[in-house]
Amino acid sequence: MVEEYIELRNGAKMPRVGLGTWQAPPDLTKAAIKCAVKSGYRLLDTANDYSNEHVIGEALEELFSEGVVKREELFIQCKLWNTNHRPEHVKQDLLDTLHDLKLDYVDSFVIHWPQAVPSNGKYCAKRSDGCSLAHESKKTMFPVDDDGYWCTDKESHYVDTWAVMETLVDEGLTRSIGLSNFNRRQVEEILSVTKKHFPCVLQNESHPYLHELDLRNFCRINRIAFQAYSALGSANRPWRNFGSITSGAPKTGHEILEHPDILKIAQKYGKSTANVVMRWHLQIGGTLVAKSTNPGRIEANYKVWDFELTQDEMSVFEELNVGWRHLIWPETSNHPDFPFKDDLPTITSCRSLIRDFSKEVKYL
């Protein structure tokens, strides 16, 4: 028996399956959100750099006014962007998101990445600034140097950011706070400096090719919900197949949703491979967000409650844990807080693209 909700360390209930919205184009996102909620999803995951929060806000407004769902029945999670780590920008980042989502509070606000990047002094970077080179416009969410690597804000650190995150819970702007893309050492650091509101969620990449068992155990012991992102393997991401600095397709030779062993299990139950992968996440005790903007797939993906993988089927997944990380983001690998530095010996993707850490780090 797999429960639909888990209890967070602050006592709130969090759905174990959520809809992701990264790379969901705005013109498809409103319908996707409405379809998801009508199909049973109660967790929606978003972020200001996804450029679709304003559309999600419109969808929520319609869902509430049509009586489909009440605000308190939803769990809405958003993220603090890397340019807004400085204490004076943290609250404004969330206020902008709340404005776009047309909400008074979110259920979870997580630090998107540990790497703080320049914000140009008093400026709080916003989505409309778009993506451009830092030296051309410092008012950007994506400040990169001439080599395409991210700049570092040397006067900002996530420990100081966390102190402000805690105040947002007291102010009622978010019910809980959490982390994303932090490694174990970085999470431990946050736990050691937390005064009142401990992280409830750690949202990191995990799927059948990257189980993250140590991190999951660490989270369980510390009462942090491990929430897998790219839970289906994030297929169809165009950069994976090109020669850019973020390329790297799975070395198994198969996309996760096309892996023959998973396909075989799916056929047995009359389910999709996505359903089988989601069921694996749930049966190892995890929680997840999976993205789709296709109404048929959104609805079908949520049908994971009416079948159960056997022990033998679960053990098939043990063979697939090859340490492939699709979002290694090597453009940030010269940042002192690049989270995957500690994992490099076990990572099988993109290793040649990681920048030599001994090189000088560029600051703005």
Ligand X SMILES: NC(=O)c1ccc[n+]([C@@H]2O[C@H](COP(=O)([O-])OP(=O)(O)OC[C@H]3O[C@@H](n4cnc5c(N)ncnc54)[C@H](OP(=O)(O)O)[C@@H]3O)[C@@H](O)[C@H]2O)c1
* Residues involved in catalysis: 50
| Interface with ligand X, residue 350, by CB under 6 A | no
Which positions from 41 through 70 interact with ligand X, judged by CB under 6 A?
Answer: 45
Q: Least Å distance between CB 135 and ligand X?
A: 26
Q: Least Å distance between CB 121 and ligand X?
A: 26
- Residue 89 or 112 with smaller CB distance to ligand X: 112
User: By three-state DSSP, how is residue 125 classified?
Assistant: coil
Tokens 């419109």 belong to: 58
Asked if residue 47 lies in contact with residue 96, where contact means CB atoms within 8 angstroms, the answer is: no
- Classify residue 122 by burial, with Cβ atoms within 10 Å: 0-12, 13-18, 19+: exposed
Binding string, 84-113, against ligand X, x = CB under 6 A? ----------------------------x-
Tokens 């996440």 belong to: 281
Which residue lies nearest ligand X, judged by its C-beta? 20
Which positions from 256 through 315 interact with ligand X, judged by CB under 6 A?
Answer: 257, 272, 274, 289-294, 297, 301
Which positions from 204 through 233 interact with ligand X, judged by CB under 6 A?
Answer: 229-233
Q: Least Å distance between CB 327 and ligand X?
A: 6
Q: Least Å distance between CB 67 and ligand X?
A: 26
What is the secondary structure of 179-226 as a DSSP string?
EES--HHHHHHHHHH-SS----EEEEE-BTTB--HHHHHHHHHTT-EE
Cα 136–chain centre separation = 29
Which positions from 173 through 192 interact with ligand X, judged by CB under 6 A?
Answer: 180-181
- CA–CA separation, 18 and 288 (whole Å): 6
Q: DSSP letter for 251, please.
A: T
| Interface with ligand X, residue 234, by CB under 6 A | yes
Q: Least Å distance between CB 74 and ligand X?
A: 15
Q: Least Å distance between CB 99 and ligand X?
A: 20
Q: Least Å distance between CB 23 and ligand X?
A: 6
Binding string, 112-141, against ligand X, x = CB under 6 A? x-----------------------------
Query: How many other C-beta atoms lie within 10 A of the C-beta of residue 294?
Result: 12
Q: Which of 8, 17, 22, 304 binds ligand X (CB under 6 A)?
A: 22
Among candidate residues 291, 220, 251, 239, the one with its CA nearest the CA of residue 20: 291
Strand partners, 228: 204, 288
Asked if residue 115 lies in contact with residue 338, where contact means CB atoms within 8 angstroms, the answer is: yes
Q: Which of 83, 152, 183, 203 binds ligand X (CB under 6 A)?
A: 203
Cβ within 8 Å of residue 52, ≥6 positions away: 21, 24, 25, 26, 29, 46
- CA–CA separation, 19 and 27 (whole Å): 17
User: By three-state DSSP, how is residue 34 classified?
Assistant: helix
Cα 48–chain centre separation = 12
Distances (CA, A) of 236 to 23, 152, 233, 240, 328: 11, 30, 9, 8, 16
| Interface with ligand X, residue 83, by CB under 6 A | no
- Residue 51 or 138 with smaller CB distance to ligand X: 51
- Residue 81 or 138 with smaller CB distance to ligand X: 81
Give residues in contact with ligand X (CB under 6 A): 20-22, 45, 112, 180-181, 203, 229-236, 257, 272, 274, 289-294, 297, 301, 327
